[in-house]
Amino acid sequence: MPRAAQWPPKGSRQAALLARLDIHRSEDLILHLPLRYEDETHLTPIGLAQIGTSTQIEVKILSCEVTWPRRQLLARLRDEAGSEIVARWINFYPSLQKQLTPGRRVRLFGEMRGGFFGVEMVHPRLRLVDKGESLPRTLTPVYPTTAGLGQVTLRRLLDAALETVPLDEPLPIAIRQRLALPGFAEAIHALHHAAPNDVHTLEEHEHPAWRRIKFEELLAQQLSLRRAYNARRAHEAVRLPPCRTLTHALHERLPFALTSAQRRVMDEIAADLAVPHPMQRLLQGDVGSGKTIVAAFAMLQAAESGWQAALMAPTEILAEQHYRKLAAWLDPLGIGIAWLSGGRRKRERDAELARLRSGKCLLAVGTHALIETPVDLPRLALAVVDEQHRFGVRQRLALRDKGAAGVRPHMLMMSATPIPRTLAMTHYADLDVSTLDELPQGRTPVHTRLASTARRMEIIARLKADCLEGRQAYWVCPLIEESEALQLKTVLETWETLKEALPELRVGVIHGRLKAEEKAVAMAAFAAGELHVLVATTVIEVGVDVPRASLMVIEHAERFGLAQLHQLRGRVGRGTAQSSCVLLYEPPLSGTARARLKVIFEHSDGFAIAREDLRIRGPGEFIGARQSGLPLLRYADLERDDALIEPACEVANELLANDPEAVEKLLARWLGGREGLLRA
């Protein structure tokens, strides 16, 4: 990594402060762009200055004293026109008092206020000047900074960097003209040394210089993600030919017809698996869109060629449910499945492990128990991760590395939290994305209602009537993030209350503190229709599939995130009965809480909800642990700068194909040494 001559600038303390701002090289400083500007390009006579605005004045010092008993430094000043003003400092060093000797000429910059002593400035910025000293011609930038690193120091460092760092132009002129983008050097200078007339468009990030920077940032992101994709793709993987006898047999046996989206996505995956390079695919599909069967076919494709496939799920309940589904589909074809979860007895576990180690058993389903040390999958060719956002990068990599040394399995990541298009095109550009955009036939839309907690008794009465007619219901307890103990207490109390209020009904409970076995028993009883009502925490949030359950009550719905509410609501509406979901909220609702509940109330489509969620909360939550350590976009905004995303993708393709030098330049400039993280 080339370093500018005077880096680190002045001693290691300063370098450490800069590192806090993620500035490690002078190239990083160049891209440390102003938050806003101050206008010191002209002087305002005191008599014309407006109260409440930042102003620069030039004055002579009349007097200066430290007052008592309230200790402050008080200076009286007068400008050329004879108007007077007071400047006050409540915190000051003795050196400041020394500078303020009567008769000297100073420029003060600060906010004009009407005070006890007449017009005043409190803690103005001060500079001693000679008569007629020239004014700056550009705006004074104000940078994001950290305690201990002043604006003056940052500005000085920046000016030095601007003189030494070559501002190379990586974009061919044809591309710049096509997109009407200024040159890089021009844009950088316009931002650090801004012209007074540009202040508005600069601060609003609408200036052409900002467009250039945001475009380049998006472009660098594309390039790094695409390169990471290519690097992973260059590894070898097992070629798994599609469509053999067993695949046909499974098709024949399915109790339902696949949706056309499922068929399309299965073809995409089957084609990927047939290539001797690792698949890196994200399968996204709304709650209930039928991702599990897609995974089953992919796993079968591996098994049919004599290779292993593993499916990892984030919770015991989900892993067990997957195990049961896969077994129902694949057992009849003579394909055995091992099931690994933390809750299983040692003897059972050891038997499963031995089957997998010998390579006799080809399919494995489990929780993160799958990635623990004793698990050995010598012929692993496909790894499937369900609800992938629930796992960290490390866990996904651990599953990938379960196979024989040197063989990279194909990876299929599944997610029910749909990723809005702009996000998929940017932060997920290192994956291929398959989308199930269709729900199986015969689903009845869930009828959603909002009700204040005041109507709790009424809701319970309705629930009773419905359950006596043979329906089943989930009752979801409020989320209490601060205290697990309190959460548990609430669940148990709710359970007691409902049991009391509904003596005719069988009411069960399920929560995170139960042992895996106890959870399984409760889930099984509910699935078998032995329980009418299941009081639950969010342990049922992901993937739980009980088609007969058609009612859901969510208490304190305002405490849940949008994606969570959508997931929860997706637990009903899986059968043919009309399903309903009641969102109980505690009034009064805050503005955002109201807006969020409205989104859930108005939309049933996961994509629309995800788009709204992205708008309300920003991309951080979506990306989560996926790119931990990698900088998010600093300047480009996915919503505001939507129009730049597609051109950035196109230009990335052009440069990757024809201009390796430009690619290197852009990556070095924007990512420095941080690219390694993505390579894995």
Residue nearest to Mg ion (CB): 543
Q: Segment contacting ligand ADP (CB under 6 A): 150-158, 288-296, 521-529, 602-610?
A: 288-296
Least separation in angstroms between residue 294's CB and ligand ADP is 8
Considering only residues 291-330, where is the footprint of ligand ADP by CB under 6 A?
Answer: 291-293
Q: Give the three-class secondary structure for 58.
A: strand
Q: What do you get for the CA distance between the two ends of the chain, in Å?
A: 21
Site for ligand ADP in 564-623 (CB under 6 A): 574
Q: Which does 420 bind (CB under 5 to 8 A by kind): Mg ion, ligand ADP, none?
A: none
Question: Within 13 A of 534's CA, how many CA atoms are on the CB side?
Answer: 34
> Would you say 370 or 542 has its CB closer to ligand ADP?
542
Of 278, 285, 366, 418, the residue at the interface with ligand ADP (CB under 6 A) is 285
Choice between 72 and 444, CB closer to ligand ADP: 444
117 binds, among ligand ADP, Mg ion, none (CB under 5 to 8 A by kind): none
Pick the closer one to ligand ADP by CB: 32 or 566. 566
- Bridge partners of 585? 452
Q: Scan for tokens 């869930």, then name that residue.
A: 446
What is the distance between the alpha carbons of residues 544 and 533, in angstroms, rounded to a whole number?
A: 15
Shortest distance, position 389 Cβ to Mg ion, whole Å: 13
The residue range among 53-61, 204-212, 232-240, 290-298 that interacts with ligand ADP, by the rule CB under 6 A, is: 290-298
Residue 573 touches which of ligand ADP, Mg ion, none (Cβ within 5-8 Å per kind):
none
Q: Which is nearer to ligand ADP, 49 or 269 (CB)?
A: 269
Q: Check residue 258 for interaction with ligand ADP (CB under 6 A).
A: yes
By the rule CB under 6 A, 390 interacts with ligand ADP: no
Tell me how far, at minimum, the Cβ of 255 lies from ligand ADP, in Å. Answer: 8
Number of residues that bind ligand ADP (CB under 6 A): 18
- By CB under 6 A, what part of segment 437-466 binds ligand ADP? 440
Stretch that binds Mg ion, among 332-340, 363-371, 542-550, 570-578 (CB under 5 A): 542-550
Q: Which is nearer to ligand ADP, 223 or 416 (CB)?
A: 416
Among 242, 290, 403, 420, binds ligand ADP (CB under 6 A): 290
| Secondary structure (DSSP) of 275-287 | SSS--EEEEEE-T
417 binds ligand ADP (CB under 6 A): no
Amino acid at residue number 587: P
Give Cα separations from 498 to 138, 457, 460 (angstroms).
70, 10, 8
Residue bearing tokens 């067993």: 246
Inter-CA distances, 616 with 215, 555, 621, 638, Å: 23, 22, 11, 12
β-bridge mates for residue 113, sequence order: 120
- Looking at beta carbons only, is 262 or 490 nearer to ligand ADP? 262
Q: Which helix (DSSP H) or strand (DSSP E) does residue 528 occupy?
A: none
Tell me how far, at minimum, the Cβ of 634 lies from ligand ADP, in Å.
Answer: 35
Burial of 491 (0-12, 13-18, 19+ CB in 10 A): buried
Q: How far is the CB of 547 from ligand ADP (least distance, A)?
A: 6
Contact call for residue 256 and ligand ADP (CB under 6 A): yes
Nearest to 73 by CA among 51, 88, 95: 88
What are the residues whose beta carbons fall under 8 Å from the beta carbon of 240, sequence distance 6 or more? 273, 274, 301, 302, 305, 307, 381, 382, 410
> Are the C-beta atoms of 625 and 314 separated by less than 8 Å?
no
Task: Identify which range of 280-288, 344-352, 526-534, 553-561 contacts ligand ADP by CB under 6 A.
Answer: 280-288
Question: Smaller CB distance to ligand ADP: residue 287 or 337?
Answer: 287
Distance CA 642, CA 656 (A): 22
Question: Based on C-alpha coordinates, what's the Rg of the chain?
Answer: 32
Indicate which single residue of 508, 543, 570, 606 sits in contact with Mg ion (rule: CB under 5 A).
543
- Residue-by-residue DSSP string for 340-401: E-TTS-HHHHHHHHHHHHTT---EEEESGGGGSTT---TTEEEEEETTGGGS-HHHHHHHHT
State yes or no: residue 667 binds ligand ADP (CB under 6 A).
no
- Give least dist CB 536 to ligand ADP, A: 17
From residue 649, give the alpha-carbon distance in Å to each of 136, 429, 611.
Answer: 40, 9, 21
Q: Are 584 and 452 in contact (CB under 8 A)?
A: yes
**Binding residue for ligand ADP, selected from 26, 221, 259, 305, defined by CB under 6 A:** 259
List contacts with Mg ion (CB under 5 A).
543
Q: Where does this chain bind ligand ADP (CB under 6 A)?
A: 256, 258-259, 262, 285, 287-293, 416, 440, 543, 545, 547, 574
